[in-house]
Amino acid sequence: MSNIKEFELITNEIHKKLKDFRDQGLKLVGSSSFQTQSVPLLHILSQFESKIEIIFLDTGFLHPETHQFRKELTRKFGLHIRIERSEIPHSQQRDSNGLFYYNTNTDYCCHLNKVIPMDRALREYDVWISGVRRDQSQTRAEFEPVMRGKNGITRYHPMLFWTQKMIYDYIRLFDLPKHPLHDKGYVSIGCVPCTVSWAQLTSERGGRWEGLSKTECGLHTELK
């Protein structure tokens, strides 16, 4: 079981890396979906010596509890949040039969509401800090702590080697909150139409896009 001292050492290493980036004159930004597994990284970033902006993608299809949790953590940690949305209105996000793309083409829906808005925002930064972990999916298992991403941005993954157990140990040791839906059976929480409870999970990311082989929205697959 991890202890506070171990986590403090890890935090210091993350802060050292962030300072190295900043001392090179690089502009840093984080991103978060504000799920329970987001909490440790947000807590660690909030303790850095200078504010780091956090991008939050509001797809328009999120659970009300996710917005509630974002506001709670923003107040608790003193976060600086940048909310990004698709420039394409929901009225234009339907197929020829009038169905929303989340019903018929989830990849395109994610592209419109996540990938395009994130790409647009990231053009203003040099280093993107993301909380992805290798134990979350096969795609993420191949990531490195520092990688080159699209449009020349550097991707930094400080949580890459953390396990799910470490996430919950950190939350417990520092007495931090969980997403309101977590104890109601939801582990991986995305948009309302694409999220199921843990009763149907085969993996942490399995709580998304039920019935599909899909485990990624595109933010962490379209790397170049």
Active site residue 194: no
DSSP class per residue in 18-70: HHHHHHTTPPEEEE----GGGHHHHHHHHTSSS--EEEEE--S-B-HHHHHHH
> What is the CATH T-level fold of the domain 4-207, as seen in this structure?
Rossmann fold (3.40.50)
Q: What does the pLDDT read at residue 221?
A: 57
Q: Cβ(90)–Cβ(213) under 8 Å?
A: no
Q: What does the pLDDT read at residue 184?
A: 86
Candidate list 110, 191, 194, 217, residue with the active-site label: 217
SS3 for 166?
helix
- Nearest CA among 126, 129, 114, 132 for reference residue 152: 126
pTM for this prediction: 0.88
DSSP 191: B
Where exactly are the structural domains of the chain?
4-207
Torsion of CA 15, 18, 24, 29, to 10 degrees: -150
DSSP class per residue in 89-142: -GGG-B-TTS-BHHHH-HHHHHIIIIIHHHHHHHTT-SEEE----TTS-TTGGG
Q: What does the pLDDT read at residue 222?
A: 56
CA distances from 167 to 96, 149, 194 (A): 43, 25, 23
Mean pLDDT by 10 residues, the chain (224 residues): 91 98 98 96 97 97 97 98 97 93 92 96 98 90 94 96 96 97 86 76 49 50 54
Q: What does the pLDDT read at residue 139?
A: 86
